[in-house]
């Protein structure tokens, strides 16, 4: 926000030096980015945060300096002389969309003389980098920069039917704005229309055909209050921004709508002459925006850490126009309408600190901070991230938007449709990711480009899509853990470590199944069992198909794994279960069996579990052998079976009996033959 100190001086009882203003604003949380000496006096470029919309005008900045420097604020006196002709005979106003427009105030000034602005008005606008247009338009710009209330002047004779209707645009409607561009309007956009068509994009920019020109005689002066979200969405959709939209998006003083209208009418009569119609055509709610907030003085000391005298607290709040009044030991403050950012007691405490001075608050050598223990979800997340990092993976944080082509590569049409944003600013990458893989694969390609061919990456993030047949329902959103690496074995091994860290009784299993976006015959479902109970689906794993590999131009074949984050959290045992160290030694026996090529290790493990061998403690895969010694279409699988009797030392004949049962069971169930 560029402010002119000479302009500010009009509203204060004492002038403010440049350095004095800079220091005061800086210490109050409004840093001055630059100070430029111009022919019209010092120009300050102040960084105004989005919550301080009251400071986006000279009167608001003067109010701030008056409070900070203990000056007296002198707002301009507003008086107008009205003619005898009622305004209702000249214009009719109707709000068709009360959600988008809360208040609309219209005044009519007849018989104006359009021409150059007087020197003082031109200099005021030029002092902050504004260009003079004509006396009426210059007044609307001046009042905007003075009060923060956007205004617009229409040529009344160009309004069909002498009507103003605030409504949503109709499908197919277009409007040429004052910048000379024709813009296609959408039904979500709020417009100002006459009897026939739109004449302005509400809160953003007026139409060229209804604007004030040298031929204008009768002026309709608009002052309104619009919904900030509606203005923001329309401005982004049209890629159109203005001084007005900038302020409406951040919220304006609800009490300024009427006052700014009178102020602008006063100045137009002064610089352009004319007759102001009697009364005002106003529609919508009248709100002063004021509310009361209670302040407990002891809370100031507790929060700030120092004792600020009660009389000082009251004086500061008075200077800030909060009108504090005593209610027992507390102060009840009436928040002025322009302070849209003050709602709670802590907001008042912040205001007291700003004016008191942050520099007057001592810095302690020690700071006490209460340490909060991680909750179950946070602790599980820490365990998973630490485990994956220990396995050599690097955590990635990628963008939530992808291209439409990418979305189709990773979303099964039977599952749903991608979600796209209707934002004209985002021409590409305008689709919410239905999978985390696109970002990870782009990162892997970037690593390959820079010489790192084997990047092992993981990310925890949400995916989004509209479920098939659920068009009217809320879109699907789910957090997932995704990994990208070299091989399926590499990824499942890392996930197995994670599962074991979360729950020592959990066993990971992968079952072959074709699924997107993996190559046929090179993918599977990832399941988990706890204590041998029913399997729960975690996600999927596989080698990416040729289309995916080609789309990302990957040099190395890549594999991916994606699992539901919530399913992993369900496994977590914050306090791991433990058992006493075994008193008696274990007996380990290696067992090599020849089975068909299609028999998987998981199948053998499950079959042995079903046999319920006595004293069995664990079954481990040692390796798989294929060679001349094994006939074609078959393979040799070597297992290690660990036995232990918790009550006594196992004898060889007891273990031999269980091995015989194991061989017989595997032979019966899957045709396994003991390899000698």
581 is a domain residue: no
Q: Are residues 34 and 90 in the same domain?
A: no
Of 37 and 363, the structure prediction assigns the larger pLDDT to 37
Predicted pLDDT at 244: 96
231 is a domain residue: yes
Smallest CA-to-CA distance from 203 within 236, 238, 232 is with 232
pLDDT of 648 higher than 70: yes
Its domain, for residue 335, covers 291-358
Number of domains making up the chain: 5
Predicted pLDDT at 247: 96
Please name the residue that has the structure tokens 């204590």: 531
Choose the final residue of a domain: 571, 604, 632. Answer: 571
Predicted pLDDT at 326: 94
Q: State in Å, rounded, how far the first CA of the chain is from the last one.
A: 87
Q: Are residues 516 and 426 in the same domain?
A: yes
**pLDDT tens, position by position, 380-413:** 999 999 999 999 999 999 999 998 888 999 998 8
Contacts of 31 (CB under 8 A, 6+ apart): 25, 46, 47
Mean predicted confidence (pLDDT) in 128-152: 96
Most confident of 135-139, 358-362, 503-507, 515-519: 135-139
For residues 595 and 592, give the distance between their C-alpha atoms in angstroms, rounded to a whole number. 10
pLDDT of 478 higher than 80: yes
**pLDDT tens, position by position, 281-319:** 999 988 766 799 999 999 999 998 889 999 999 999 999
**Lowest mean pLDDT: which of 17-21, 191-195, 336-340, 374-378?**
374-378
Predicted pLDDT at 655: 93
- Split at pLDDT 50, 70, 90, the class of 98 is very high
Predicted pLDDT at 289: 64
CATH number, domain of 629, equals 3.30.70.380
Name the average pLDDT for the chain: 92
- The answer to whether 657 touches 641, Cβ cutoff 8 Å, is no
Predicted pLDDT at 423: 60
Q: Are residues 527 and 550 in the same domain?
A: yes
- Split at pLDDT 50, 70, 90, the class of 427 is low
Mean predicted confidence (pLDDT) in 41-62: 94
Mean predicted confidence (pLDDT) in 225-243: 94
pLDDT of 422 higher than 80: no
pLDDT of 213 higher than 80: yes
410 is a domain residue: yes
pLDDT of 582 higher than 90: no
Predicted pLDDT at 605: 86
> How many percent of the chain have pLDDT more than 70?
99
Choose the final residue of a domain: 69, 90, 112. Answer: 69
Predicted pLDDT at 602: 81
**pLDDT tens, position by position, 522-547:** 999 999 988 767 778 899 999 999 99
Q: Are residues 256 and 395 in the same domain?
A: no
- In DSSP terms, which residues pair with 480 in a beta bridge? 461, 564
Q: Are residues 23 and 101 in the same domain?
A: no
Please name the residue that has the structure tokens 């709610």: 285
Please name the residue that has the structure tokens 């005008």: 57
Helices 135-147 & 243-250 angle (0-180, nearest 10): 30
Q: Are residues 129 and 215 in the same domain?
A: yes
Enter the pTM of the model. 0.68
Assign 387 to helix, strand or coil. helix
Q: Are residues 389 and 499 in the same domain?
A: yes
Mean predicted confidence (pLDDT) in 191-208: 96
Q: Are residues 277 and 322 in the same domain?
A: no
Q: Are residues 528 and 610 in the same domain?
A: no
Q: Are residues 272 and 298 in the same domain?
A: no
Q: Are residues 193 and 212 in the same domain?
A: yes
Predicted pLDDT at 574: 82
Predicted pLDDT at 424: 54
Choose the final residue of a domain: 323, 358, 393. Answer: 358
397 is a domain residue: yes
Mean predicted confidence (pLDDT) in 14-29: 92
**pLDDT tens, position by position, 245-274:** 999 999 999 999 999 999 999 999 999 999
> How many percent of the chain have pLDDT more than 90?
77
> What residue spans of 206-344 are helical by DSSP H?
228-238, 243-250, 256-272, 297-304, 310-319
578 is a domain residue: no
365 is a domain residue: no
Predicted pLDDT at 362: 84
**pLDDT tens, position by position, 552-577:** 999 999 999 999 999 999 999 887 77
Predicted pLDDT at 469: 78
């Amino acid at each position: 926000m560029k402010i002119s100190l000479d302009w500010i001086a009009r509203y204060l009882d004492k002038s403010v030096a440049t350095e004095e203003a800079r220091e005061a604003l800086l210490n109050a949380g409004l840093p001055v980015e630059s100070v430029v000496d111009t022919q019209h006096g010092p120009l300050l470029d102040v960084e105004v945060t989005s919550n301080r919309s009251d400071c986006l005008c000279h009167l608001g900045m003067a109010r701030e300096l008056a409070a900070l420097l203990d000056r007296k604020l002198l707002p301009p006196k507003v008086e107008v002389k009205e003619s005898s002709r009622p305004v209702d005979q000249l214009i009719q106003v109707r709000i068709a969309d009360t959600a988008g427009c809360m208040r609309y105030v219209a005044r009519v000034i007849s018989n104006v003389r359009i021409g150059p602005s007087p020197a003082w008005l031109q200099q005021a606008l030029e002092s902050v980098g504004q260009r003079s247009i004509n006396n009426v338009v210059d007044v609307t710009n001046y009042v905007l920069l003075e009060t923060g209330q956007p205004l617009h002047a229409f040529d009344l004779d160009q309004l069909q039917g002498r009507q103003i209707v605030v409504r949503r645009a109709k499908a197919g409607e277009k409007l040429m704005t004052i910048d000379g561009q024709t813009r296609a309007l959408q039904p979500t956009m709020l417009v100002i229309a006459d009897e026939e068509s739109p004449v302005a994009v509400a809160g953003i920019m007026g139409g060229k055909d209804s604007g004030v020109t040298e031929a204008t005689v009768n002026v309709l002066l608009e002052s309104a209050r619009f919904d900030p979200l509606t203005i923001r969405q329309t401005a982004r959709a049209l890629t159109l921004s203005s001084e007005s939209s900038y302020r409406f998006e951040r919220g304006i003083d609800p009490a300024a709508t009427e006052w700014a209208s009178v102020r602008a009418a006063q100045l137009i009569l002064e610089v352009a002459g004319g007759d102001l119609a009697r009364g005002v055509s106003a529609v919508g709610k009248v709100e002063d925006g004021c509310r009361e907030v209670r302040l407990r003085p002891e809370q100031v000391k507790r929060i700030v850490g120092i004792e600020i005298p009660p009389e000082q607290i009251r004086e500061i709040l008075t200077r800030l126009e909060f009108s504090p009044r005593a209610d027992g030991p507390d102060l009840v403050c009436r928040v002025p309408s322009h302070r849209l950012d003050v709602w709670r007691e802590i907001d008042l405490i912040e205001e007291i600190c700003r004016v008191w001075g942050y520099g007057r608050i001592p810095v302690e050598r020690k700071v006490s901070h209460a340490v909060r223990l991680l909750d179950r979800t946070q602790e599980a997340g820490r365990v998973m991230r630490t485990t994956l990092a220990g396995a050599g993976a690097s955590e990635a944080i990628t963008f939530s938007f992808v291209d439409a082509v990418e979305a189709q590569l990773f979303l099964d049409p039977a599952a749903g449709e991608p979600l796209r944003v209707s934002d004209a600013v985002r021409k590409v990458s305008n689709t919410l990711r239905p999978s985390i893989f696109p970002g990870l694969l782009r990162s892997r390609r970037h690593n390959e480009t820079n010489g790192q061919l084997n990047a092992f990456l993981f990310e925890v993030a949400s995916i989004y899509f509209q479920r098939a047949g659920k068009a009217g329902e809320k879109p699907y959103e789910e957090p997932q853990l995704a990994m990208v690496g070299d091989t399926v074995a590499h990824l499942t091994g890392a996930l197995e470590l994670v599962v074991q860290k979360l729950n020592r009784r959990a066993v990971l299993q992968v079952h072959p199944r074709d699924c997107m976006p993996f190559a046929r015959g090179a993918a599977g479902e990832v399941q988990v069992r706890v204590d041998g109970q029913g399997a729960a689906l975690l996600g999927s794993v596989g080698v990416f198909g040729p289309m995916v590999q080609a789309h990302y131009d990957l040099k190395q074949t890549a594999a991916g794994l994606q699992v539901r984050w919530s399913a992993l959290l369900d496994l977590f045992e914050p306090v791991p279960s433990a058992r006493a160290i075994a008193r008696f030694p274990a007996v380990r026996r290696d067992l090599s069996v020849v089975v068909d090529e299609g028999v998987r290790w998981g199948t053998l493990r499950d079959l042995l579990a079903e046999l319920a061998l006595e004293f069995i403690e664990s079954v481990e895969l040692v390796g798989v052998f294929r060679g001349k010694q094994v006939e074609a279409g078959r393979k040799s699988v070597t297992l290690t079976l660990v036995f232990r009797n918790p009550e006594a030392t196992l004898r060889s004949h007891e273990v031999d009996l269980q091995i015989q049962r194991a061989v017989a069971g595997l032979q019966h169930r899957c045709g396994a033959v003991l390899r000698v």
